[in-house]
Structure 1
């Protein structure tokens, strides 16, 4: 598992939104007009090549895009699971609530001030808890190497 950073934690909500978008695209791409392609074939029925346009569903492009988006979705799901496991593994109740509220819960990002208000703390206390926990977890992670 990669080292947990504020950047990885902060990307959690965006990653969850991207997973939903990719899921929609993966399930609805075949309905899109962008999958219609055209090609030119040569008709030799008169003894010489006559270009003919052929229009239809571009299966190769569809499969290539589906594979790319599926790999991206799987990567993001693993990343989100690691972040959720990291937060769930926090033993200190207050720190766990701070991390969950600030990085994971809800669709809209909460500010440290909003988290502090809900937990009856000062904003600086929330910031210090986050920084201290990440520093401690980095040190403990390094000590296992």
Structure 2
């Protein structure tokens, strides 16, 4: 039987936003755009908080070169009831269930997608959207993720 985990969204933080101000870029061809996406996990044990940080770069590809057009860093924080039950008291190793990490990453990516869409409105990147990504890509292939 699957254990239910109570969680709630605690805070959404925009850490950094950069967009290249280049007047020569009057049109972006979607096929020339790549995304570099990374995910970071952190926690505050005493407050039962898990932080999911997303690091997004939008890159324009040119032959063998990539030009950074935009960068966005967000941190989405979640309060997880009884976070301590996932922490080994002996060695402080943290083992979060795969489904929990999958859910948090999925929500964080979707939230970041919305933030990116809003921040690029009215720019040459307004029609460039963060693609739908499989959160499993960011999770280790074992049953539990260890931080």
Rg larger in structure:
1
Taking structure 2 as the reference length, the TM-score comes to: 0.25
Higher helix share: 1
